[in-house]
Structure 1
């Protein structure tokens, strides 16, 4: 009989996510968006802005925006996370405040399909790539047909900018505390994918932006990948993550996990 080739897991697409932080009346707040219900991946889910990396994210052009010394190895991921946030939520992490007209012009240029670098130049905006800090690297479990290898970044939100969703991937935006988002998901009012829920759990104990930023390990450009594994236990199947990854719980019943 002919041999059947063994197929391994599909490759995970490189991706990046930006978690913007601010101090609200009741403590730490995060910018999240609601994904369009018609999307293939995570339809209707509440997520942080982000997405797949693009070829232009690797352009050496971006090196000139690093303020001091050689840029980090994750430079392209930083560009991708910042670009996706600007495209989906209309918020640009930049070094200097943007005039409302310049910000509106940037949003319009991106909506019209103009390249990110050209739109920034037109707006006179300098991206604050150095203010981003990698919190974690989540990789979609190996059994799924669509997989992502995503760096999650934290950054203080730019002042004076209000999110404006693109109406395509994002149909709504919201500033909210991690505890509120988790409570609303528990009440069935929000849909959270696993990595988002775990990130909210980790940030729920942070009182303010400073506390959240202190979770980042200095000098770590690529955190160790966290790949949830489906494991059979006496009490039923669970998704398990590695010890020492900084997130908890380490085991979550499979019926409570949404992966896409």
Structure 2
């Protein structure tokens, strides 16, 4: 980015860190090679849409922050993206679930037809990252932790997402740190995988997330001997404070 150029405005985005028990695993998806973040292994997620802030959502929401407009759209977006990319619908009390995502059906109608509600108390802030200021494409991404609902299976949408798998957080993080080919994981994803390794179950991870102070991480880029490094403050409470930047 030129020193005279205005930095790109970050797009609001939300993602779900979906975990399950016995063993403790997290759902990871692989993005299409022709899309944004080509072939990257990520948590399900995407950008917010205007419909995520629709006032018609009110009767379908539960939880302490359900009436907070500054929180509502982010969580709805995270739940919507999880459903669109993996088919997993994060609702409670559902009497009927859609067999598969259908782009023609508004997500609000999907939730309404399920007979359930979105319980924000079970969709817990886990991280908040903003793309470095020198990048041409930037995102303001909130990560939310949630336990996988019983009786639902995940499947890739075949469009933006070409594959998915349940993995042990520490095993995937170790592959990334070892430089294993194919372990294409970005810095924020890696840091949140490592944060997961501090817990041994969804219940423990959710309790830790609820207790952790919220902190917005916007990495600072520094060049050292021709190599770009991403630097984050120690207050972010992640295992690393620096990592090689792409």
Partner of 1:66: 61
Structure 1 21/143 Cα, relative in aligned 2: closer, same or farther at 3 Å? same
What's the TM-score, normalizing by structure 2?
Answer: 0.89
Aligned to 1:188: 181
Q: Secondary structure of 1:44's match?
A: coil
| 2:80 is the counterpart of 1:83 | yes
Are 1:174 and 2:165 matched, yes or no?
A: yes
Of residues 113-122 and 195-204 in structure 1, the stretch that sits farther from structure 2 once superposed is: 113-122
Structure 1 gaps of 5+ residues are: none
Q: CA deviation at 1:218?
A: 4.7
Contact 1:92 1:127 in 2 (8 A): no
Distance 1:61 1:114 in 2: 15
RMSD: 2.3
Q: Distance in 2 between matches of 1:209 and 1:165?
A: 22
Does the aligned pair in 2 maintain the 1:90–1:164 contact within 8 Å? yes
Structure 2 unaligned regions, length at least 5: none
Q: CA deviation at 1:233?
A: 4.7
How far apart in 1 are the matches of 2:161 and 2:91? 21
C-alpha contact 1:82 1:93 (8 A) present in aligned 2: yes
TM-score (norm 1): 0.85
Judging changes above 3 Å, is the alpha-carbon distance between structure 1 residues 219 and 71 closer, same or farther for their aligned structure 2 residues?
farther
Shift of 1:57: 0.5
Secondary structure of the structure 2 residue equivalent to 1:154: strand
Q: Which residue of 2 aligns with 1:138?
A: 129
Displacement of 1:135 after TM fit? 1.1
**Aligned-pair CA distance for 1:97:** 5.0
Return the match for 1:57 from 48, 52, 58: 52
> Alignment partner of 2:209: what SS?
coil
1, 7, 16: which one aligns with 2:5:
7
Distance 2:174 2:41 in 1: 13
Tell me how far apart the structure 2 counterparts of residues 56 and 66 of structure 1 sit (CA, whole Å): 14
Deviation at 1:8, TM superposition (A): 2.2
Q: How far apart, in 2, do the equivalents of 1:168 and 1:235 lie? A: 37
Q: Is 2:112 aligned against 1:116?
A: no
Alignment match, 1:47: 42
Q: How far, CA to CA, are the matches of 2:95 and 2:112 in structure 1?
A: 12
Task: Provide the secondary structure at the position in 1 that maps to 2:18.
Answer: strand
Q: Structure 2 residue aligned with 1:37, among 29, 33, 36?
A: 33
